[in-house]
Structure 1
Amino acid sequence: MKGLLIKDFKLMLNQKNFFILIVLILGATACFLDFDYYFLIGYFMFICSLFTISTISYDEFDNGNAFLFTLPFSRSRYVEEKYCFGILAGTFSWFLSFVITTIIQMINFNNFIFSDWMLSTLVMLPIMFVMLAILIPFQLKYGSENGRIAIIIFLGGGFVVCYLLANLLAQSQINFNALISFINNVDPLIILLIIFAICLAILFVSMKISKRIVLKKEF
């Protein structure tokens, strides 16, 4: 896995000018514009996490996988590396953008509360995990072009299901006040840990699906 990680990080370094530009834009936007800091962190994480999908496209380019899988690693290890790389890239992007926005807020706001800010931004990490859990299997299964279409269909279907479910719950007149009150009384750190656990479980299931896809794939 180490060799695969080095390969992908070297691919990432080839785009270093792009990432430096994004960081500069992030810093300038946070400094000089009245912009939502959460959006800035989420956007930077999204860009960096998407690079995981780009590495899969690089591997597939010009039938590169046919050569790649002659090297001494298993297909399962290849899939594990993609998830590991995605988590590392997303976590690093969160940390970098978190540091930048934290410094700016500490300078600009006297009532800045670090602990609240950190907890609220940590929620973005499990969201990134779920995004990877959705994107990677589709990319491995359908490739770049068809993968985008499949993802749009999947997300569109998910939106419709959520919309219908929300309407059903609204019409059912179920009282959620007790549940909301219970959640409000729970330590936010506990809630965050539960969210992390759920999203990591989703990521694990996604990795199992991706392994099955790659094992059955012919190059």
Structure 2
Amino acid sequence: MVWETLNVIGTIAFAMSGVNVALEERYDLMGVYILGFITAFGGGAVRNLLIGVPVSELWDQGALFTVAFLVMTLAFVFPTMVRWTLLRRGIFFDSIGLGAFSVQGALYAYSMGHPLSACIAAAALTGTGGGMIRDILAGRKPMFLQKEIYIAWTLIPGVVVGLGWLTGPLELLLVVTAVVVLRLCSVYYEWSLPSRLPDRAI
């Protein structure tokens, strides 16, 4: 039940995020569908490749494809619904997708008996893979490479789920909420990780 709930939440959120970018780039209906589907399912495909799960398993998610299709169609017909975001460029929807899918990815790897490192990688790839592909296709700098903290928040579900600390339904919901809130705060308050400028050539 938790698995399916996270899947639905993440799919809807990332589909909306993809539609938001497509509308900003003035894509046509087919472009909206392609970008939306890539955002919603791209992270899962990358995750499956790297942890040894057949990518073909994605095609067994017919119900999720239908949900994504309906959400994207409604967003295209009624574009005002996708403009409802807390912050610019669809950060709100993207944050929800990041939280839901990073927890789902960690849970997926944990349920297969993989070690902590695989849970962390699965959380990061599932949470950011679709958005990365979306931004590259749209000719944008990927969100997780920008100055605000993004991919680092996926360490939280990767660690707490990978170590088996929090795996209950309510506990996982709290982890999702924590990632969403921290991501939004990092954008609003402009939190960033340390960085260094390259040394000047002598």
Q: What interval of TM-score do these two structures reach, taking the shorter chain for normalisation? A: 0.3 to 0.5
Q: Write 1 or 2 for the structure with the bigger share of helix.
A: 1
Which has the higher Rg, Structure 1 or Structure 2? Answer: 1
Q: Tell me which of the two structures has the higher relative contact order, counting C-alpha pairs closer than 8 angstroms and 6 or more residues apart.
A: 1
TM-score by structure 2 length? 0.43
TM-score by structure 1 length? 0.40
